[in-house]
A and B are shown apart, each in its own frame.
Chain A
């Protein structure tokens, strides 16, 4: 087959000299390309700044609007106190319901994570991972709806335990995912060393693998706690909130910080709204503090 000479790239003789190409006049779109390159660099920087603005705005406004009413009375009185209402019942409510939820959802999640990482065959593991993906994608309000349509309607009525169960439903897949991922990182050689010593499989998992992964497991559990602490939707028709101080009575309605913020923010009275902002400070402080402590150490590794 004859080579069509008109198609062959210019031979060396026809090309402009290298010096011409390096130094010669601008050709075509060259200047435009350089400008676009710089512009896009700046645009992406601007995008990064724009994304951070809401964070600063939210934290800033919450502080500005909530600090004036964040008094000692606010932290030590229940919201039913007619003289000077506070948020103590909400704070204590969260501090009761969330740990109970973590106890239920966290322990189940840890066990399921152990199964997926330690025992499941490839197909079962893939199926389990997908199941967790699906559960993570289910909106948290549906956890509240589920508990409302079962536990609340047929058994407990509005109660703290219903709230804890609803939060546990939200935390469950989070803990599975976290523990599964962390346990997979434990090198197989550690398991083999233990099994080779004649230590039973379950002992190996409980006293060798889990302790090796404990820092990561703790991270996952802390983040699940923070997530549960900030959830409002699952509590709306389960724990419902309460004006009075409820310590230890899980069969009655109970207040929670996010519920307090939500409910107070919609009240027509200015002082209640101001209290909603103050409660938002407490909520934000607790949730962000956990996140800062837990994520701060590991963020470098995620950026490279």
Chain B
């Protein structure tokens, strides 16, 4: 009996029962989600193929200029110099700045919400932190563009540049940057945007540390903070790390707010206070009106980089979660 016939008899002679039909349509929706991811990869890779094939993966990732019609200043010869390095550096650097600020801050807030705050205050604060996550990024962007960037230049930038900036050139002010837009500004705006994520995940994992562990430590004469520092946070560290990675992924892909404050200059910054460009901001500002086919392939190639990094981060977080599950079974 062939497969088709068997299926027919099993479903009572009808081709598909209502049950099977419904079940299949839901399955199709799941498969659509899988197809979406495959399609994303396939389309981006296929359309950026000239970049990978003609220029090569390593040259594309390491070339520090983005110039479809590059004119050599010495020889006057023209060539295609399309490289992702400025955008990769701008993306990673701004995201790291965001994380350095939002990571510790978010964990501290989570500690406050779970360990110190009275219940009512915790409810109010949690609600407000969730609202921050709900603000559309273009609204944060316009605030960054016209308000925060000025504040940041006159405070944070000035403090950092006039202290550690004197020692480390990477944190020194750039006299050639007449604007208030920089990789640093983008990083600070990202910090605002990702802090709710760090808080939300840290709050959950801190809360899941068993009371018996806290009491065991408090019961031997530890202060509240010592118990947090030596027992709660170490026990929750893998989960917190997972949350920080998720937040990092969010920062890497954030587009509009970064586009509005990073300065949009395709250069590898030599100071955090220089304008730069992120992968997402480059795509956002250029993809709509690009005509050069090589440049178009380059922009889609940037998309591939962004996709690979964000999917990679999801995989890492997944592996961390698995380890976390194991740790909890053991305790």
Contacts and interface: CB of A to CB of B under 8 A. Distances in A.
B130 A236 contact: no
Contacts of B226: 33, 37
B22 A139 contact: no
A51 to B, nearest CB: 5
Given A52-B125, A233-B256, A273-B146, A139 B119 contact: no
Q: Classify the secondary structure of A's interface with B.
A: helix
Contacts of A288: 131, 134-135
Interface stretch (A80-88, A186-194, A291-299): A291-299
A201 B19 contact: yes
Contacts of B117: 45, 48
Interface string B72-102: 0000000000000000000000000000000
Contacts of A304: 119, 207
B160 interface: no
A143 to B, nearest CB: 8
Contact of A119 (B26, B39, B229): B26
Nearest to B302: A145
Given A232-B137, A237-B287, A303-B123, A141 B29 contact: no
A114 interface: yes
Contacts of B125: 48, 52
A137 B311 contact: yes
A133 interface: yes
Nearest to A109: B29
Interface string A52-93: 101101100110010000000000000000000000000000
Nearest to A277: B142
Interface string B300-312: 1001001100110
B253 A119 contact: no
A138 B128 contact: no
Interface of B: 18-19, 21-23, 25-30, 32-34, 36-37, 39-40, 43-44, 47, 105-106, 108-109, 111-113, 115-117, 119, 122-123, 125-132, 134-143, 145-148, 192, 195, 199, 207, 223-226, 228-229, 246, 249-250, 252-256, 260, 280, 283-284, 287-288, 300, 303, 306-307, 310-311, 313-315, 317-318
| 5 A-B pairs with the lowest CB-CB distances in the bound complex, closest first | A139-B253, A230-B136, A115-B26, A111-B29, A202-B22
Interface of A: 33-34, 36-37, 40-41, 43-45, 47-48, 50-52, 54-55, 57-58, 61-62, 65, 108-112, 114-116, 118-120, 128, 130-142, 145-146, 148-150, 169, 172-173, 176, 200-202, 205-206, 226, 229-233, 236-237, 240, 258, 261-262, 265-266, 273, 276-277, 280, 283-284, 287-288, 291-292, 295-296, 299-300, 302-304
